[in-house]
Structure formats: C-alpha cells, structure tokens
Chains A and B, each alone.
Chain A
C-alpha cells in the first residue's frame, strides 16, 4: 500500500514537472496539429511567424488557459476568444500593437498608431459600417505566418506590395459594387514606377502605399497627389509652384502632376509630350494662338534644338573617330549635353520659355564645344596628311637630287679612269 501511494505521488510529481516543464507553445499545437489538414497547416505556418519567434504563443492572441492540456484550455473565462470575426481583427492586433508599454519590450522603434490610422482609412471606415469584404490587418500581413516587413517573403515587403493590393483591387468580381476601377495594378505595372519596382527591383520607386498611405490608406485628394510626387521630384514641384500653372490648375481643380502625367499609369514622358503637335499635352487646355499655346510651342522648339544639337555633335564626333582621331574630350561634351537635356526637361515645369532657354544655354555651349572639337579632330587629320605630303615631297625631292648626285659622281669617276 505504501508503495502504491509513494509511486502515485512520484508519478503525479513527475507529471506536474513534465507538464510545467513542457514548453507552453506545445499545449495548443500538440492537439491542433492532428485535428485536420487546415489546422495542421496553421500550426506549421506559425512556426515561422515573427510573433512565435519572439516567444508569443497561440494564447497571446487567442487567449486561453495554458495550464490545461485539452479542450479545457479553450476556456472563455480564462480569456479564450477563438477565431475572431472580421470586425474584431483590427482590435485583436491593436490590443498589443497600440500598447506602447507592451511594444517597448519587443520593438521600441515600431509605430503604435496602426489601428488608429486604420480606422481613418477607407478600409477601416467601411469595416465600421459592416462591410466584411474590406481588408483588415491579416488581409495584407498574413496570419499565422506573419513575417517582418523587411523580409523579402512578406506580402508587405516593398517589392510585393503592389501584388498584395492587387489581390482585391484587380479582382473585378470581388470589387463589383464599389464603383471604383480595377485596372490600377495593370496601369501601374506599365508605368515607370511599376517597371522600376517590379522589374528592376528598385526599392526607391514608389509602391501603392507611398502615395496612398499604409494603414491609413485612402486615395489622396486631388491636391495631395502632387505633394506625394514632389517628395522625390522636388525640383519639378518647386518649379511648378512658381509657374503660372499652379494657380490655374488649382482654380480648375486639376491635379498638379496627375493632370498631365496620370496617377497610376505614369509613363516615361516622351519629348512629344511637350508642345502643340501630335502627342503634346499643352493643347489639352490651350487653344491655338493663346499665350500658353505659344509658350508651349516655343519651349518645344528649344528642347528640340537642344536634342538635335546632341545628334549633330555625336555625328560630327563619329566622323572624326572613323578617321582614327581621338574624340574623348568631345565625348565628355556630348555627355554634358545629355545631362543638360535632363535638366531642361525638368526646367520645362516652370512653363516659361525664357527660363528654359537659360537652362538650355549650358547644353548649347557644350554642343558648340563638341562640334569645334570634332572640327579640330578633322583638321588634325587633314593636317597630318598635308604634313605627310610636304615631308614626302621633301624626302623624295632630296632622294631625287641625291640620285642625280650619285650619277654625277659616277660619271666623273668613269671619266677620270
């Protein structure tokens, strides 16, 4: 009898130790991994989750009693909430992520305003109104396998963001009834920014969130788009705000940048964009003969002559190079023209031909320099040939004279013998 008691005590003790020593994480996972395929996937996915790696268990979000090992752990009295509804999700995440003291233990530098911002967004507003189709935290960040933003596999990694947004916003069926277009991703992918980000992997290019905001995602107001553009395209923005277009656009309710350049489908503007001819945007507002029309035409002429100057300089230098002359200095001058044409295209945004002319002066000077260098190279080429001609003349002349002298000497020698 005594043995049974002590044996049971020892067994109980062992069980308690075993249970308390076992990692708390396994309590939920140990069961759920065998429930069905879906649950198994969740448990396995969670192994890579940043929250798991920081030591947060299932109960950290879902609540429950970790001292129990079976369904008793899922005790609502002990805080178990189960799978949250769509409506509950932002708060479930915000429970921790909006708590500064809590977050300080894990990542003091991380923002704590996501939930607050979310409810200012279109998604948040509509969620409050009962729309369960809109995005919540888990729609973008994933769930049970959330990765940090700088992890390349995260759906909210910079390069992955457009595709993540497009999951809903490009799905015409899903978006039916909202009355907004579903071609944004398509347009964006064709744009300069889209190509830069998606194809060239340039992290400096803007993704959806750079213009629309992250958690407070909303379409920027007509005037706000420009504010976004000029964070990178500062010079263009500065010039524009000093130009006659600023007030005119504001009065007409036109977006500063997007009115000409579009917002999603921002293409690389060709030089045809400028001016009053085929493809020119100026005629969208300006009638033939008005001040703007004339200014547009003039600016186009200036730009055109700058670019044709570049071509002329290149051709001239090419000719010199074909003659085997050195043209490296001329090539630097052509490079100056190229840089100046970039500056000129920016300078256009002042919409003042005089200003453009001033800026383009540098390019015109460089063109003149390149062409004079090419001319000098061709001159050098001719000089060498002329020089050779002269030297050759001297040498052959002298050779001839020498020949005559030899003959004269030999004649004398024959005569004397």
Chain B
C-alpha cells in the first residue's frame, strides 16, 4: 500500500473558487491576465470600433433565430411555403422569430458593410492586418451568400424569380458557366432541387465555413489588438476592454435588439404568394438591397460591347473589381509606412457614393 501524501488530504481552502480550479488544470489565469489588459484605443474614430462587434451580435441573433425556425421549417417545394406560413400564423411568436431573422439578415449585412468601409477609411487593413481584411472580405461574401440562399427558402413568388435571375448570371461565364449554374441550382432550372441545395448551404455549409473563418478573423484581432488610425499623435488613455468597452458594446447591442423588435412588430416581413414556376414573373422583382448595385450596373451595360457579350463583360468587370478591393492592402503600401494617401480616401468616397447611387437606382427602377 502506497503512502498517501498528507498534503493532498488537505481540502482546498474555501476562498479558492471554480476559476482557480480551472486554472490549476488549464492555465486559465493567463487568459484572464490577457483579458484584464486588453484595451481599445481612444480617438476620434473610436466609435467605428463598435461595428465589428455589432456584426457579431447580429450573427448570433441570426444563429439563434435560425435554429428556432429550423424546428418548424420543412424544406420541399410542397412544404416550404406552407411551413413558413404556418410559422408566421399559427406558431406562437413565430411571426416575431421569422421577422427578426429576415430583418436581422439585412442589419447584419449593413453592419458588416459599414464595418468594412470604416476599416478602409482608417486604413486598418495595412500591415500587419492584411489577412484580417481578407478574412473579413470572405465573411462579407459569405454573409451575402447567406442572404441569397436564405431568401429562396420561403419559396414565394418574389424569391423564386429573384433567384432565377440571380443564378442566371452565373451561366454567362464562358466554359464553366453552365456547369456552375447547374452546381448552384441543382438542376437546369430553379426547382425543388435548388431549394434543397440552398437549404443545405444556408443551414449547414455556410454556418460551418462562416464560423471557421470568423474564429480566425477574431483570433487575428485578439492577437494583434485594435488598429490605431494613421498619424495618431495625441495619446489619450486607451479604454479597458473589460468592463468599459464591453459594456458599451452591450449597450449598443441592446439598442440593436430594440430596433429588431420594432422592425418585426411594425414592419413585419411579408410572405406573399407561393412560387409558381409556370406563372409569369410578377412586376417588381428585385434581389435584396445589397445586390441591387451590382444588379443595376449589369442592367446598364449594353447587350454587346465591341462584339463581347455585355453580361459577360459586366460579370468580369465586377469580378475584377471585387478582386481589386479584396487585395487592397497590397495596393496601398504607403499606409503600412504610416502615410495617408488621399487617392485612397477619394477612391473610397467614389465607391461609397457609387454604391449608394446604384443601390437607389436599382430600387427605384425595379
């Protein structure tokens, strides 16, 4: 019989709590030290720091409301519409969950876009944060894909035709275009197969990929801390993340929650009529607002430009533009040297205004 160590027979003193128990096993105190020292720079542009967290909050709202909707939604050309109708009319507070999910999607994309532009104008993408920008762009793209796939799921008339138009564009890519269109639609046309595929994307594939990239994006931010604006001279005392910034974050999230509730109650999301593949397209089909600018730009390009198919040119142009934007940290090397170039600001303003103008045009001309 081995001699028992008398020290181990002494029970832990009552003052040592659960955190200490964890610390003994997992070195939790290092994390707590890190959290204690985490801070946020204070300057004129500090308010923009909130938009990343806001996007995160809205994503969490989407996950929660999405999971709740999953409990009643039944995917299928003969059941999707009926189940959404059931949710909004028969399930207690179903109308609320559904409207929050639909409005939340839009607010999330809006928050992400504002977050992106604020990062742009503050040049926060500069070295060492190039990959944060890249993963952020991926997240925005995924969020828009979330929106596109989710839009079809109620299987109503507007969604059906909007999806038809939206997926049609993929087909203009030479060579792989038709293959990609079939891959996207699950068939040559928008059918129940598209519905299944979009549902799989929306409820399984995209959440997994998004979460993975989000974790990477957040990890980058934790490791590198918040970026400070260029030429930031006067050093005000940074704000501790815990509790100051976090409480302020929570405050904003509370207000966002209130806004979501207000939108859900006073501007409930419509369901409309069930999709009918044999009926003609109703007037006023348009994609969600974040696609409107692209949609409108494509509409403006003439059918043929110097023997090149107009749509193809448009898609190629937009593709190039997006690639340019995604790789922007590598064009603005001056920023990593601490220099604020005015062409970057100018370009940003033009793009923002252009985006706004084309979005409004797309809305009005639909």
The reply to whether A and B meet directly (CB within 8 Å) is yes
Listed by A's residue number, 13 A-B pairs whose Cβ atoms lie within 8 Å are A328-B89, A384-B265, A385-B265, A392-B261, A395-B255, A396-B258, A398-B254, A399-B251, A399-B254, A399-B255, A402-B254, A406-B251, A413-B244
Bound complex: CA of A396 vs CA of B258, how far in Å?
Answer: 8
Judged by a CB distance under 8 angstroms, whether A153 is at the interface is no
Q: Chain B's nearest CB lies how many Å from the CB of A404? A: 11
Contact between B265 and A388 (Cβ–Cβ < 8 Å)?
A: yes
Q: Chain A's nearest CB lies how many Å from the CB of B250? A: 6
Known contacts A388-B265, A392-B261, A406 near B247 by CB under 8 Å: yes
Q: How large is the interface on A (under 10, 10 to 19, 20 to 34, 35 or more residues)?
A: 20 to 34
Bound complex: CA of A403 vs CA of B249, how far in Å?
Answer: 11
Write out the residue numbers on chain A whose beta carbons fall within 8 Å of the beta carbon of B96: 384
Contact between A409 and B244 (Cβ–Cβ < 8 Å)?
A: yes
Bound complex: CA of A44 vs CA of B254, how far in Å?
Answer: 92
Write out the residue numbers on chain B whose beta carbons fall within 8 Å of the beta carbon of A413: 240, 244
Judged by a CB distance under 8 angstroms, whether B163 is at the interface is no
Bound complex: CA of A27 vs CA of B141, how far in Å?
Answer: 89
Judged by a CB distance under 8 angstroms, whether A268 is at the interface is no
Q: Chain B's nearest CB lies how many Å from the CB of A382? A: 11
Known contacts A392-B262, A402-B250, A326 near B88 by CB under 8 Å: yes
Judged by a CB distance under 8 angstroms, whether B229 is at the interface is no
The size of the chain B interface, using a CB distance under 8 A, is 21
Q: Chain B's nearest CB lies how many Å from the CB of A399? A: 5
Contact between B247 and A409 (Cβ–Cβ < 8 Å)?
A: yes
Contact between A388 and B262 (Cβ–Cβ < 8 Å)?
A: yes
Judged by a CB distance under 8 angstroms, whether B285 is at the interface is no
Contact with B along A377-409 (1 / 0, CB 8 A): 000000011011001100110110011011001
Judged by a CB distance under 8 angstroms, whether A183 is at the interface is no
Contact between B257 and A395 (Cβ–Cβ < 8 Å)?
A: yes
Write out the residue numbers on chain A whose beta carbons fall within 8 Å of the beta carbon of B261: 388, 391-392, 395
Bound complex: CA of A282 vs CA of B37, how far in Å?
Answer: 96
Contact between B254 and A395 (Cβ–Cβ < 8 Å)?
A: yes
Using A392-B262, A395-B254 as known contacts, list a sample of 10 further A-B pairs with CB atoms less than 8 Å apart, ordered by residue number in A.
A384-B96, A384-B265, A388-B265, A396-B258, A399-B255, A399-B258, A402-B250, A402-B254, A406-B247, A417-B237
Write out the residue numbers on chain A whose beta carbons fall within 8 Å of the beta carbon of B265: 384-385, 387-388
Judged by a CB distance under 8 angstroms, whether A47 is at the interface is no
Contact between B268 and A324 (Cβ–Cβ < 8 Å)?
A: yes
Bound complex: CA of A265 vs CA of B96, how far in Å?
Answer: 58
Write out the residue numbers on chain A whose beta carbons fall within 8 Å of the beta carbon of B240: 413
Bound complex: CA of A173 vs CA of B251, how far in Å?
Answer: 96
Write out the residue numbers on chain B whose beta carbons fall within 8 Å of the beta carbon of A391: 258, 261
Write out the residue numbers on chain B whose beta carbons fall within 8 Å of the beta carbon of A326: 88-89
Judged by a CB distance under 8 angstroms, whether A410 is at the interface is yes
Write out the residue numbers on chain B whose beta carbons fall within 8 Å of the beta carbon of A406: 244, 247-248, 251
Write out the residue numbers on chain B whose beta carbons fall within 8 Å of the beta carbon of A403: 251
Bound complex: CA of A395 vs CA of B261, how far in Å?
Answer: 10
Judged by a CB distance under 8 angstroms, whether B243 is at the interface is yes
- Closest B residue to A324 using CB positions: B268
Write out the residue numbers on chain A whose beta carbons fall within 8 Å of the beta carbon of B243: 409
Contact between A402 and B251 (Cβ–Cβ < 8 Å)?
A: yes
Q: Chain A's nearest CB lies how many Å from the CB of B256? A: 10
Write out the residue numbers on chain B whose beta carbons fall within 8 Å of the beta carbon of A410: 244
Of B89, B247, B257, B262, which one neighbours A402 at CB under 8 angstroms?
B247
Contact between A392 and B258 (Cβ–Cβ < 8 Å)?
A: yes
Write out the residue numbers on chain A whose beta carbons fall within 8 Å of the beta carbon of B268: 324
Write out the residue numbers on chain A whose beta carbons fall within 8 Å of the beta carbon of B262: 388, 392
The 8 closest A-B pairs by CB, nearest first: A326-B89, A388-B265, A395-B258, A399-B254, A402-B251, A406-B247, A384-B265, A395-B254
Contact with A along B225-255 (1 / 0, CB 8 A): 0000000000001001001100110110011
Write out the residue numbers on chain B whose beta carbons fall within 8 Å of the beta carbon of A398: 254
Bound complex: CA of A57 vs CA of B289, how far in Å?
Answer: 79
Write out the residue numbers on chain A whose beta carbons fall within 8 Å of the beta carbon of B255: 395, 399
Write out the residue numbers on chain A whose beta carbons fall within 8 Å of the beta carbon of B88: 326
Bound complex: CA of A326 vs CA of B243, how far in Å?
Answer: 45
B residues 246-286 in Cβ contact with A at 8 Å: 247-248, 250-251, 254-255, 257-258, 261-262, 265-266, 268
Write out the residue numbers on chain A whose beta carbons fall within 8 Å of the beta carbon of B258: 391-392, 395-396, 399
- Closest A residue to B270 using CB positions: A324
Write out the residue numbers on chain A whose beta carbons fall within 8 Å of the beta carbon of B266: 388
- Closest A residue to B271 using CB positions: A326
Contact with B along A351-392 (1 / 0, CB 8 A): 000000000000000000000000000000000110110011
